[in-house]
Amino acid sequence: AFEPQQQSGAAPILVASNRGPVSFSSEDDGTLTLRRGGGGLVSGLSAIDDPTAVWVCAALGDADRQAARQAPDGRLDRAGHDVGGQAVRMLDIEPGTFARAYNGIANSTLWFVHHLLYDTPVSPVFDDRFRREWESYVAYNTAFAEALAAEAAPGAAVLVQDYHLSLAPELLRALRPDLRIGHFSHTPWAPPEYYRLLPDDVAAAVLTGILGADRAGFLTERWALAFADCCAAVLGAEVDRAALTVTHAGRTTRLGVHGLGADADFLRERAHRPDVDARLAALRESVGDRRTIVRVDRTELSKNIVRGLLAYRHLLRTRPEWRDRVVHIAFAYPSRHDLPEYREYTAAVQRIAQEIDDEFSTPDWQPLILHVNDDFPRSLAAYRLADVALVNPIRDGMNLVAKEVPVVSDAGCALVLSREAGAHAELGEDAVTVNPYDVVETAEALHRALTMPDGERADRCKRLAAAATALPPQQWFLDQLNALG
Question: To the nearest whole angstrom, how small is the minimum distance from the Cβ of residue 81 to ligand G6P?
Answer: 20
3-state class (DSSP) for residue 78: helix
The kind and range of the H/E element at 174 are helix 168-175
Position 186 contacts ligand G6P (CB under 6 A): yes
**Residues in contact with ligand G6P, total (CB under 6 A)?**
7
**Complex with ligand G6P: residue 97 or 187, whichever CB lies closer:** 187
Q: What are the counts of helices (DSSP H) followed by strands (DSSP E) for the chain?
A: 19, 17
> From the CB of 245, what's the least distance to ligand G6P, in Å?
24
Task: Return d(Cα 168, Cα 183) in angstroms, integer.
Answer: 9
User: Contact 216/161 with Cβ under 8 angstroms?
Assistant: no
Nearer to ligand G6P, 229 or 300 (CB): 300
**Burial readout 194-222 (b: 16 or more C-beta within 10 A, e: otherwise):** bbeebeeebbbbbbbbbbbbbbbbbbbbb
Question: Which residues in 473-483 are b (16+ Cβ under 10 Å) and which e?
Answer: bbbbbeebbeb
DSSP letters for 176-228: -TTSEEEEE--S----HHHHTTS-HHHHHHHHHHHHTSSEEEESSHHHHHHHH
Q: Is 343 in the site for ligand G6P (CB under 6 A)?
A: no
Q: Binders of ligand G6P among 344-403, rule CB under 6 A? A: none
Please say which residue, 275 or 341, places its beta carbon nearer to ligand G6P.
Answer: 341
Shortest spacing between CB 65 and ligand G6P, in angstroms:
16
Q: Is position 187 an interface residue for ligand G6P (rule: CB under 6 A)?
A: yes
Distance in angstroms (rounded) separating the CA atoms of residues 223 and 229: 10
Nearest to ligand G6P of 26, 335 (CB atom) = 335
Q: Which is nearer to ligand G6P, 107 or 469 (CB)?
A: 107
CB nearer ligand G6P, residue 292 or residue 346: 346
Q: Burial level of 2, CB count in 10 A (0-12/13-18/19+)?
A: exposed
CB of 56 to ligand G6P, least distance (A): 14
Give strand pairing partners of 418: 434
Contact pattern for ligand G6P over residues 394 through 423, marking x by CB under 6 A: ------------------------------
Q: Point out which residues pair with 183 in neighbouring strands.
A: 160, 216
Rounded least distance, CB 457 to ligand G6P, Å: 29
**Nearest alpha carbon to residue 16 among 221, 174, 206, 157:** 157
Among 328, 336, 384, 403, binds ligand G6P (CB under 6 A): 336
The site string for ligand G6P over 82-121 (x = CB under 6 A, - otherwise) reads -------------------------x--------------
Nearer to ligand G6P, 42 or 311 (CB): 42
Per CB under 6 A, the list member of 66, 142, 247, 335 interacting with ligand G6P is: 335
Would you tell me which residues interact with ligand G6P (CB under 6 A)? 19, 107, 162, 186-187, 335-336
